[in-house]
Amino acid sequence: MKRQISCSEYQGAFIEALARGPGSELSADVSAHLALCSECRATSLDLEAGWDAFRDLQPVEPPQALRERTRGAVLALMSEERASASRRRWLDGVQVPLAVGSARAGEQRPIWDLGSTLGRLPRVVAPTASDRPARP
Amino acid sequence: MSDDAGEVTPDEILMAAYQAGNEAAFGELFGRHAGSVYRFLVRRLADRSLADDLFQEAFLRLHRARHTYDSTRSFRAWLFGIVHNLVVDAMRSRSRLPETTSLDDVREAAAERQQQAELGPDYRSPERLVAARQSTMALSRALRALPSDEATALILARLEGLSYDDIAEVLGRSAAATKQLAYRALKRVTATMKAEGHEEET
């Protein structure tokens, strides 16, 4: 025997059929429910009219100035983010060599502690008077 | 935006490009969906100036949330999820919506008069025009009076053509529950209009 659908199942199928557009067919069990349930039958006619009433709503579009302002606001954010990412990449590029230099010194020191690292580098010393060749 | 074969690039692909920082992809998505976001806001809020404010905020929220988008999901469902939450937040912050004639009702009346003037006197009989106008205002009032999720379900299904699966995703409910919401919403709207004497001719 064929299962009969409930009013609640009918309602779900009916609202889906309305969204599919006029003339969309109801399945056999939905049609069978409609034939048997006078309440759903009466309501469905009203609801079809209610669905059609939306046709009279005036079309609305965002004003051009609002469109431009909104698009511009997002694009400005994107551009800001790109600039900030580029600054971060530059800083990363600077920090890595410094960090490597620090690691070579064999110490766990913050990368900004450059003074002691630089202190271990060979000093460039200005020639003293004794280094200079004697004047003729 | 379309590829060399002239096929339209799906929203989900554009979204991936936008996530990677492509401005043209954002521009294309904006062009495609700005109208439907605005229509939804206007119908849902029945307040054009609030709709204007939230329109910009919707796209700023979308931008901030873009990295949370999962390209296996429907883009429209994700987008309207953001817009629906924005509306819920905005309505919470208002004690209640105006129940008198809104500024939008006045604007719609003006637009209807302009349309009649442009199309000439035979466009519609004055009686029919007045009836349509009153019916539209009654519909706007009925939509305004709906519970939040019901209004979103009905507007997205009826005016934006979203599938019930997508609307279910917007509302975080099952598809069956979403259809029930839309059904109840339509029933309330129809009853309100009928009570006011605005029955659509069928």
Say yes or no: A68 contacts chain B, CB-CB below 8 A: no
Alpha-carbon dihedral sign for residues B1, B18, A63, B171: positive
ipTM: 0.79
Residue A86 token pair: 């580029």
Percent of chain B with pLDDT over 70: 77
For A49, the closest of B30, B111, B200 (CB atoms) is B200
Q: Are residues B91 and B102 in the same domain?
A: no
The pLDDT of residue B202 is 45
Q: Are residues B103 and B186 in the same domain?
A: yes
CA distances from B188 to B35, B125, B191 (A): 27, 29, 5
**What is the nearest CA distance from B92 to chain A, expressed in angstroms?**
24
Q: What is the DSSP string of B136-178?
A: HHHHHHHHHTS-HHHHHHHHHHHTS---HHHHHHHHTS-HHHH
Yes or no, beta carbons of B176 and A81 under 8 Å apart: no
- Section B24-45 average pLDDT: 96
> Where is the domain boundary, B58, B77, B97?
B97
Q: Are residues B113 and B39 in the same domain?
A: no
**C-beta contacts of B36-41 below 8 A and 24+ residues apart:** B36/B160, B37/B79, B37/B80, B37/B83, B38/A60, B38/A61, B38/A62, B38/A66, B39/A59, B39/A60, B39/A61, B39/B159, B39/B160, B40/B80, B40/B83, B40/B155, B40/B156, B40/B159, B40/B160, B41/B83, B41/B87
Q: Are residues B28 and B124 in the same domain?
A: no
Angle at A71 between CA B13 and CA B15, to 5 degrees: 10
- Residue B60 belongs to a domain with what CATH number? 1.10.1740.10
Q: Is A122 helix (H, G, I), strand (E, B) or coil?
A: coil
Residue B47 token pair: 């307040």
Give the range of the structural domain holding residue B20, as residue numbers without chain letter.
Answer: 1-97
Residue A113 token pair: 């502690």
> Where is the domain boundary, B41, B73, B97?
B97
Among B71-80, B114-123, B152-161, name the one with the lowest average pLDDT: B114-123
| Rg of chain A taking only CA atoms, in angstroms | 40
Structural domain count, chain B = 2
Between CA A34 and CA A39 the distance in angstroms is: 9
Q: Are residues B16 and B76 in the same domain?
A: yes
Q: Are residues B150 and B190 in the same domain?
A: yes
Q: Are residues B108 and B199 in the same domain?
A: yes
- Residue B173 belongs to a domain with what CATH number? 1.10.10.10
Percent of chain B with pLDDT over 90: 62
Q: Is B69 helix (H, G, I), strand (E, B) or coil?
A: coil
The pLDDT of residue A56 is 84
**What is the nearest CA distance from A8 to chain B, expressed in angstroms?**
8
Q: Are residues B105 and B201 in the same domain?
A: yes
What's the predicted TM-score (pTM) here? 0.75
Which segment, A84-98, B3-17, B88-102, B104-118, is predicted with the most confidence on average? Answer: B3-17
The pLDDT of residue B195 is 87
Q: Are residues B82 and B102 in the same domain?
A: no
pLDDT tens figures, A108-120: 555 455 444 445 5
β-partners of residue B2 are B8
Q: Are residues B93 and B106 in the same domain?
A: no
Type of residue found at B89: D
For B180, the closest of A8, A56, A82 (CB atoms) is A8
User: Which residues of chain B are within 8 Å of residue A60 when distances are taken between CB atoms?
Assistant: 38-39, 42-43
Q: Are residues B102 and B75 in the same domain?
A: no
Q: Are residues B82 and B172 in the same domain?
A: no
Residue B89 token pair: 């937040």
> Where is the domain boundary, B67, B97, B127?
B97
Yes or no, beta carbons of A74 and B59 under 8 Å apart: yes
pLDDT tens figures, A30-45: 888 988 999 999 999 8
